[in-house]
C-alpha cells in the first residue's frame, strides 16, 4: 500500500507542530517574515478546486476527506498548523457526530491527537479497528498515540497488525517506537537496519521517519556516534522535517555542540520548537544579547498560547521556564501537568530535571516508578534518575 497517506498522522502525534502564537514585528521593512505558496503552486490550485467543490456540496464525504487530508499533508510539509484548522473546517459537518463515516473518523482522530486530545482520538481509532481490522493507518496512528501516552504494550500490539498490511519498514519503525527495554531496543535496531537497507523505494517521509526512530534508539542506548549519523541521514532525506530538526537539536545540545544546534535551528525559528532550541543554543554559547531577544519572543508566544487555553506546548514551556527563565518551581508544575497527558522520553526528562533543580525529588516519583515499571531504556534518563535517588 502507499504509505504517503498512512504516514500523514505520524509526525502530528510524535510532536505536535508548534504554532506561531503571537504577532511578530519585523526589524526592518526588508525582512521576509513568511513565504506563501504561489497561486500557481499545484498544491494551492488543488486545494482551491476542492474547496470550491466542497462549498457547493459540504456534506460530500469523499470531497471533505480529500480536502482535509491535503491540508494535513500541507500543514506537515510547511510546519504550518493553520492547515490543521482548515482540515477541521472541512470536517465540520461531522465533527461532533458520535459515528461519522470511517474516512472522516480517521481524519478526526488524526487532528485530535495533533492537539493532544489523545483519549478522544483513541476512542475514534478503536471504533475504526473494531469494524475494519485492515485499516493500516488507523493501526499506526493508534500505536503512535498509545506510545506517546505510555502504553507501550498496547502500542506494540497495534504495530503487530501492520505486518500484514504495510511494508517491512513501517512495521519495524512502528515496533521500534514502542520499544522500552534494552532487549527490545536491540531487536528493533536489527529489524530497522534490515528494513532500511531494503527500503530504497519507499516514500521519503516514511524513510525519514524510520531513520529518525533509529537515531533515537541509538541515543537512548548512549551511542552518540550512531545517533548523529542517523539524524544526519534523516535530515538528508527530509531536510525540513520539524520533528527531526527538534530531536537532532536536542541531541546536539545534550552533547554540548551548541554551535551546530544554533545553525540547525536558525532557518526555522518561526516554529516555536526550533526558536526554543535556538535560544538554548545561544545560552550555551553565552550570547546574552541575542538570547534576550529570543526569550522575549518565546514569552510572547507562550503567553498567547495560554490565553487560547492551548496545552499542546506544555513540555516546551516547561523547558523554557526551567532553562531560560530559571524558575524550577514553575517549570516543575508545568512538567508534572504535561506528564499527565503524555509520557515520552522528553516528557520524563523535563520532570526529572525540574525536580532536581527545585530540590524536590519526591515530585519526580511518578516518573521514577514509570521508568522501573516499563524498563524504559535510556542512559540519559537513568543517569538523571540515579542523581535524584541519591538526594532522597
Reported as a single tens digit per residue, the pLDDT across 120-162 is 999 999 999 999 999 999 999 999 999 999 999 999 999 999 9
Would you say residue 169 has pLDDT above 80? yes
Burial grade of 320 (CB within 10 A; 0-12, 13-18, 19 or more) = buried
Would you say residue 14 has pLDDT above 70? no
Query: Can you give the pLDDT at residue 17?
Result: 39
Would you say residue 260 has pLDDT above 80? yes
Q: Which residue has the cell 485530535?
A: 112
pLDDT single digits (tens) 203-220: 999 999 999 999 999 999
Alpha helix (H) residue ranges in 180-271: 182-198, 204-220, 224-237, 242-254, 258-265
Mean pLDDT of 27-43: 53
Query: Can you give the pLDDT at residue 246?
Result: 95
Would you say residue 49 has pLDDT above 70? yes
| Residues composing the chain | 392
The Cα–Cα gap between 167 and 173 comes to: 10
pLDDT single digits (tens) 53-75: 999 999 999 999 999 999 998 88
Which among 374, 372, 377 is positioned nearest to 389, based on CA atoms? 372
User: 311 with 341: CB under 8 angstroms?
Assistant: yes
Q: Give Dmax (Cα) for the chain.
A: 66
The Cα–Cα gap between 118 and 97 comes to: 17
Q: In the 8-state DSSP scheme, what is residue 267? A: G
pLDDT single digits (tens) 81-128: 889 999 999 999 999 999 999 999 999 999 999 999 999 999 999 999
pLDDT band at 21; cut points 50, 70, 90: very low
Mean pLDDT (the chain) is 90
Q: Which residue has the cell 531560560?
A: 324
Query: Can you give the pLDDT at residue 16?
Result: 41
Q: In the 8-state DSSP scheme, what is residue 63? A: H
Would you say residue 42 has pLDDT above 80? no
Would you say residue 1 has pLDDT above 50? no
Would you say residue 30 has pLDDT above 50? no
Cα distances (Å, whole numbers) of residue 265 to 17, 23, 188, 281: 15, 20, 29, 9
What are the residue ranges spanned by the domains of the chain? 1-14+40-149, 167-239, 241-310, 317-392
Burial grade of 290 (CB within 10 A; 0-12, 13-18, 19 or more) = middle
Cα distances (Å, whole numbers) of residue 98 to 59, 67, 93: 16, 21, 12
Query: Can you give the pLDDT at residue 225?
Result: 98
Mean pLDDT of 330-341: 97
The Cα–Cα gap between 21 and 298 comes to: 9
Query: Can you give the pLDDT at residue 10?
Result: 55
In the chain, % of residues over pLDDT 70: 89
Query: Can you give the pLDDT at residue 312?
Result: 85
In three-state secondary structure terms, 282 is helix
User: 251 with 266: CB under 8 angstroms?
Assistant: no
Q: Yes or no: is domain 1-14+40-149 CATH 2.60.40?
A: no
Query: Can you give the pLDDT at residue 305?
Result: 86
Mean pLDDT of 22-50: 60
Higher pLDDT, 5 or 98: 98
**214: CB partners within 8 A, 6+ apart:** 173, 176, 189, 192, 193, 196, 230
State the pTM of this model.
0.89
Q: Which residue has the cell 535510556?
A: 378
DSSP assignment string, 118-143:
HHHHHHHHHHHHHH-TT-HHHHHHHH
Query: Can you give the pLDDT at residue 23?
Result: 44
Cα distances (Å, whole numbers) of residue 190 to 35, 182, 318: 41, 13, 35
Higher pLDDT, 300 or 44: 300
The Cα–Cα gap between 332 and 122 comes to: 28
Query: Can you give the pLDDT at residue 159?
Result: 96
Amino acid at each position: 500500500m502507499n504509505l504517503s497517506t498512512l504516514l500523514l498522522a505520524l509526525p502530528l502525534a510524535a510532536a505536535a507542530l508548534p504554532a506561531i502564537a503571537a504577532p511578530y514585528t519585523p526589524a526592518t521593512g526588508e525582512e521576509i517574515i513568511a513565504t506563501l505558496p504561489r497561486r500557481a503552486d499545484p498544491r494551492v490550485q488543488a486545494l482551491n478546486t476542492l474547496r470550491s467543490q466542497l462549498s457547493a456540496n459540504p456534506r460530500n464525504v469523499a470531497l471533505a476527506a480529500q480536502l482535509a487530508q491535503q491540508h494535513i499533508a500541507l500543514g506537515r510539509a510547511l510546519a504550518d498548523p493553520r492547515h490543521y484548522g482548515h482540515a477541521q473546517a472541512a470536517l465540520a459537518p461531522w465533527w461532533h457526530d458520535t459515528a461519522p463515516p470511517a474516512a472522516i473518523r480517521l481524519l478526526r482522530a488524526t487532528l485530535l491527537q495533533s492537539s493532544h486530545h489523545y483519549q478522544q482520538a483513541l476512542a475514534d481509532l478503536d471504533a475504526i479497528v473494531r469494524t475494519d481490522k485492515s485499516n493500516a493507518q488507523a493501526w499506526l496512528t493508534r500505536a503512535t498515540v498509545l506510545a506517546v501516552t505510555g502504553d507501550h504494550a498496547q502500542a506494540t500490539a497495534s504495530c503487530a497488525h501492520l505486518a500484514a498490511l504495510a511494508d517491512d519498514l513501517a512495521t519495524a519503525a512502528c515496533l521500534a517506537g514502542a520499544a522500552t527495554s534494552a532487549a527490545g531496543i536491540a531487536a528493533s535496531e536489527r529489524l530497522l537496519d534490515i528494513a532500511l537497507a531494503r527500503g530504497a523505494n519507499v516514500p521519503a517521509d516514511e524513510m525519514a521517519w524510520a531513520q529518525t526512530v533509529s537515531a533515537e534508539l541509538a541515543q537512548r542506548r548512549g551511542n552518540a556516534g550512531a545517533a548523529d549519523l542517523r539524524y544526519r541521514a534523516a535530515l538528508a532525506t527530509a531536510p525540513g522535517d520539524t520533528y527531526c530538526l527538534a530531536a537532532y537539536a536536542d541531541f546536539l545540545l545534550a552533547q554540548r555542540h551548541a554551535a551546530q544546534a544554533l545553525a540547525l535551528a536558525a532557518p526555522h525559528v518561526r516554529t516555536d520548537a526550533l526558536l526554543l532550541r535556538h535560544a538554548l543554543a545561544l545560552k550555551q554559547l553565552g550570547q546574552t544579547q541575542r538570547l534576550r531577544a529570543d526569550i522575549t519572543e518565546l514569552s510572547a508566544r507562550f503567553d498567547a498560547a495560554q490565553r487560547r487555553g492551548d496545552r499542546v506546548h506544555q513540555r516546551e514551556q516547561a523547558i523554557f521556564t526551567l532553562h531560560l527563565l530559571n524558575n524550577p518551581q514553575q517549570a516543575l508544575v508545568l512538567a508534572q501537568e504535561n506528564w499527565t497527558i503524555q509520557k515520552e522520553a522528553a516528557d520524563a526528562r523535563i520532570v526529572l530535571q525540574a525536580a532536581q533543580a527545585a530540590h524536590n525529588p519526591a515530585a519526580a516519583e511518578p516518573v521514577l516508578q514509570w521508568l522501573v515499571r516499563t524498563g524504559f531504556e535510556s542512559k540519559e534518563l537513568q543517569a538523571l534518575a540515579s542523581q535524584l535517588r541519591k538526594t532522597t
